[in-house]
Amino acid sequence: METKVEQIITADWLIPMTQADHWIENAGLLIRGTEIIAVDKLDILTEKYPEVSHTHLEGQALLPGFINSHCHAAMNLLRGLSDDLPLKQWLEEAIWPVEAQFVDNSFVYQGTQHAIAEMLRSGTTCFQDMYFMPDQAAKAVKESGIRASIGMVVVEFETSWAQNAQDCIDKGLDVFDQFKHSPTINFNFAPHAPYTVEKTTLEKLGMLSNELSLPLQMHIHETAYEVETFIEAHGVRPLTRLKEIGLISPLLNAVHMTQLNEGEIEWLADGGSHVIHCPQSNMKLSSGVCPTKQLLEAGVNIALGTDGAASNNDLDMIDEIRSTALLAKLDYLDPTAMSAYESLYAATMGGAKALGLQESIGSLEAGKLADFISIDLNCIETQPVYNPVSQIVYAAGREQVSNVWVNGKQLMSNRKLKTLNSDLILQNARHWRNKIINR
């Protein structure tokens, strides 16, 4: 029988995300194989387990890895292609035509590799994807060692991935069957939006989501224009349509949600649905502001996503966490609207709950999987440290993420990626840039 390697990792601060504004000084984790066995003070761990290899990260903080609950990973290859446009014009005139011409297996595989490298360097240990060729995304995830929930994307129109909605579903389920036993890959259904997916298709997806207990993520109420045109076409708001067909449930991951009224917030709370807040993409595309304070007060779980690098233009979860806190304070003219801890929670436990993985990841507790990161606070920009949670949210940068572990395996050590070829990723990015710009 294979012996599971044990190791103790400690740091000056440990932020377990198990209770508000709580951290432990000079503490760490006992890891055995893929699992956290114990969380305790440094002296207790080393005294109790003297034979176990011990690494102390001086001046650093240990915390759960970030969970990017909504992105379009392969769109890293479209970063900066067409900026400063409204969402509708950006999609219809800039993005969709390029995707129709260039998106293929190589594009998605190499673009997802690029995104994974950026996410690991930013402290993300798990992401929820929504893009074409989910088999290629899953392949990149499996090879890199990161954790992901791969979206089985569904649209009605023909794409380079599938001919129609039913073809999307059939091909997606084939990918699900192919990778469902991977220890770091989960799946979700990913219908694009109520305005691009027919009611009958959504009803079918709702049934499949319930049968397989898989989350269903969808862009919903992203802009006022989207809501207005849906009302003109169907006589009801998009969320009303989803309520009518029973999709407002604990399996729903409602992405963006900038246009909500009080009744709709109650529906989400009563249904146990999750809202995926993408503040920077929403600001950049001028889509609106998600009412985070009202959602939290109603008891709705909030998770954070970056959206794609084509509309953000990065996959930096620390920046997203900071934007979440600051935007809420400005939106409500209330400095208490979203605290540093609440924003950090949305990026860790909030994401785990949305993906249905709260029993496995999202906090540092005995019995959970060893998905965690260290952030180096021992630099001019983040000293002195009075409160490591506030320091990470309001002062730290992603370049201070020093080490990343997923499933007990170290994927980045002192800023060096261990499972990905950075030079090849950069070479591939330049290759796609040249193809697209010379189209």
The answer on 98 and 60 residing in a single domain is: no
The answer on 246 and 151 residing in a single domain is: yes
Whether residue 84 lies inside any domain: the answer is: yes
Closest to 123 in 3D by CA, of 351, 300, 289: 351
Report phi then psi at 397, rounded to 5.
-120, 160
Domain range spanning residue 392? Answer: 6-65+362-407
Task: Kindly indicate the confidence band of residue 410, based on its pLDDT and cuts at 50, 70 and 90.
Answer: very high
The answer on 256 and 346 residing in a single domain is: yes
Beta-bridged to residue 32, according to DSSP, are 6, 35
Q: Do 301 and 271 form a contact (C-beta atoms < 8 A)? A: no
97-117 residue pLDDT tens? 999 999 999 999 999 999 999
Domain count, the chain: 2
The answer on 173 and 32 residing in a single domain is: no
What are the distances in angstroms from CA 44 to CA 9, 172, 245, 387? 13, 48, 54, 23
Per the listing, tokens 């997606």 go with: 172
Helix (H) or strand (E) holding 388, with range, is: helix 388-394
Higher pLDDT: 12 or 88? It is 12
CATH of the domain at 117: 3.20.20.140
Question: How far apart, in whole angstroms, are the C-alpha atoms of residue 401 and residue 375?
Answer: 4
Whether residue 422 lies inside any domain: the answer is: no
Whether residue 432 lies inside any domain: the answer is: no
352-376 residue pLDDT tens? 999 999 999 999 999 999 999 999 9
pLDDT above 90: percentage of residues in the chain: 97
For residue 272, what pLDDT is reported? 98
The answer on 373 and 326 residing in a single domain is: no
Is pLDDT of 3 > 70?
no
Give burial (CB, 10 Å; 0-12/13-18/19+) of 53: exposed
Which tokens in the block code for residue 279? 């503040």
The answer on 386 and 316 residing in a single domain is: no
Lowest average pLDDT, out of 82-86, 132-136, 209-213, 264-268, goes to 82-86
Specify the DSSP class assigned to residue 124: E
Whether residue 415 lies inside any domain: the answer is: no
The answer on 34 and 163 residing in a single domain is: no
Whether residue 36 lies inside any domain: the answer is: yes
For residue 4, what pLDDT is reported? 82
Task: Kindly indicate the confidence band of residue 86, based on its pLDDT and cuts at 50, 70 and 90.
Answer: confident
Task: Kindly indicate the confidence band of residue 88, based on its pLDDT and cuts at 50, 70 and 90.
Answer: confident
The answer on 375 and 347 residing in a single domain is: no
Measured between alpha carbons, how far apart are the two ends of the chain, in Å?
56
Whether residue 424 lies inside any domain: the answer is: no
The answer on 160 and 138 residing in a single domain is: yes
Calculate the average pLDDT of the chain.
97
State the CB neighbour count (10 A cutoff) for residue 410.
16
The answer on 209 and 97 residing in a single domain is: yes
283-324 residue pLDDT tens? 999 999 999 999 999 999 999 999 999 999 999 999 999 999
Of 354, 389, 417, the domain-final residue: 354
Of 354, 373, 396, the domain-final residue: 354
Is pLDDT of 1 > 50?
no
Which residue type occupies 172?
Answer: G
CATH of the domain at 378: 2.30.40.10
The answer on 166 and 279 residing in a single domain is: yes
Whether residue 428 lies inside any domain: the answer is: no
The answer on 250 and 137 residing in a single domain is: yes
Task: Kindly indicate the confidence band of residue 87, based on its pLDDT and cuts at 50, 70 and 90.
Answer: confident
Whether residue 30 lies inside any domain: the answer is: yes
Average pLDDT over residues 225-246: 97
Question: How far apart, in whole angstroms, are the C-alpha atoms of residue 169 and residue 214?
Answer: 13
Give helix 105-121 / helix 422-437 axis angle, nearest 10°. 130
Per the listing, tokens 């003297």 go with: 50
Question: How far apart, in whole angstroms, are the C-alpha atoms of residue 299 and residue 221?
Answer: 19
197-211 residue pLDDT tens? 999 999 999 999 999
